[in-house]
Structure 1
């Protein structure tokens, strides 16, 4: 399978078609389905979530409001299972003083100090080709490296290295998917930035874990830039 037309359009909200011809409405391409000024999602990243009754942006990042001081940035080819939640910085209560109670919100007072404190946590960033399992939680300001796997129910309060497998609460690195040399080569290769046609041509190498073969498919940087990466 090398024809890019055989792969779903990244701007199609429902990338999966069931045998009866209907769309699998629980699986959504994020870039097409998300309409939020503080969320950025790369091509082909998707979520499969059984709760379809509310807006996807609200399900994924329930505390992230338009104009918040932080963003949620998601790379390409990520996969999010049911119940994944990003607890972004605006969920945080004030912690610089003697109480964490948000008095200013209920009193209708200026909350500029709250916003500034939330902004200090920074953006939440998910790299490329990241798989996040069932009902995992990602806390404010965490960066998840490309190629990482997050186990079901994990609670991430720290950054995750590229190609690490993490699990638990708080999440810890269980193992690395590859040795350091292989990780460096994969990150340098950045196959997720390639045109989709090239990725499909290289699919057998990706599936076989044949890095040397995959490297032979690498397009020029100009080709990747032309692909919108």
Structure 2
């Protein structure tokens, strides 16, 4: 009935690909079943690619089920943002020695919320995803893209900044697929339906 969703390294112990949920230690990174991360060196490198993710801010990186994340994908979190309403954006308070008196509050910072990746999303190599982005179910992000805006379900996007190239299916079919939510089926049903899920005749 398919691989064990609780297996850390599902490919015969190879450590370049992991089921990501089983390697995460940060409670503010939440990952669904069967989502995998591929890394040429070691899949345990994933959390190093989540940048500026500070506990005191509290933002979350949420990734759905059955996602595919290639090497070099970087998530920029809200801790990277500086104040923007003053004359300068320089973070004086960071260095103390009297400069801490202008320490900004979270209200002063441009916090953009959680970063949320839907289900069945394919993210190509060396993609950068900016803070607070939401990527819809079934989307594809092309290699070397920088994602600065939300991505619609089943859209293919690419570039820097990334723009929509096309939709994978018609609007009617996308609506049907979003209602279907195959990623929430029992694994037995998914296994039985692999021919339909991977076949070219989507109407079936």
* TM-score between the two structures when normalised by the length of structure 2: 0.92
The match for 2:156 is 165
Structure with greater helix percent:
1
CA distance in 2, matches of 1:52, 1:111: 41
CA gap 1:147/1:138 in 2 versus in 1, 3 angstroms: same
The match for 1:134 is 125
- Cα deviation 1:115-144 (Å, max 9, x = unaligned): 334563111100000000010000011100
CA distance in 2, matches of 1:133, 1:91: 23
The match for 2:86 is 97
Helix, strand or coil at the partner of 1:172? strand
Question: How many residues are paired up?
Answer: 202
- Cα deviation 1:130-181 (Å, max 9, x = unaligned): 0000100000111000000000000000000000000000000001000000
Give unpaired runs (5+ residues) of structure 1.
Answer: 18-22, 214-229
Helix, strand or coil at the partner of 1:185? helix
Q: Which moved more, 1:103-112 or 1:168-177?
A: 103-112
The match for 1:74 is 63
CA distance in 2, matches of 1:125, 1:111: 32
* Contact 1:154 1:168 (C-alpha < 8 Å) held by counterparts: yes
CA distance in 2, matches of 1:161, 1:114: 33
The match for 1:180 is 171
* Contact 1:38 1:68 (C-alpha < 8 Å) held by counterparts: no
CA distance in 1, matches of 2:125, 2:31: 19
> Which residue of 4, 7, 18 corresponds with 1:9?
4
CA distance in 2, matches of 1:54, 1:166: 27
CA distance in 1, matches of 2:83, 2:44: 28
* Contact 2:16 2:43 (C-alpha < 8 Å) held by counterparts: no
* TM-score between the two structures when normalised by the length of structure 1: 0.82
The match for 2:182 is 191
Q: Which moved more, 1:154-163 or 1:29-38?
A: 29-38
State the superposition RMSD in angstroms.
1.9
The match for 1:88 is 77
Structure with greater strand percent:
2
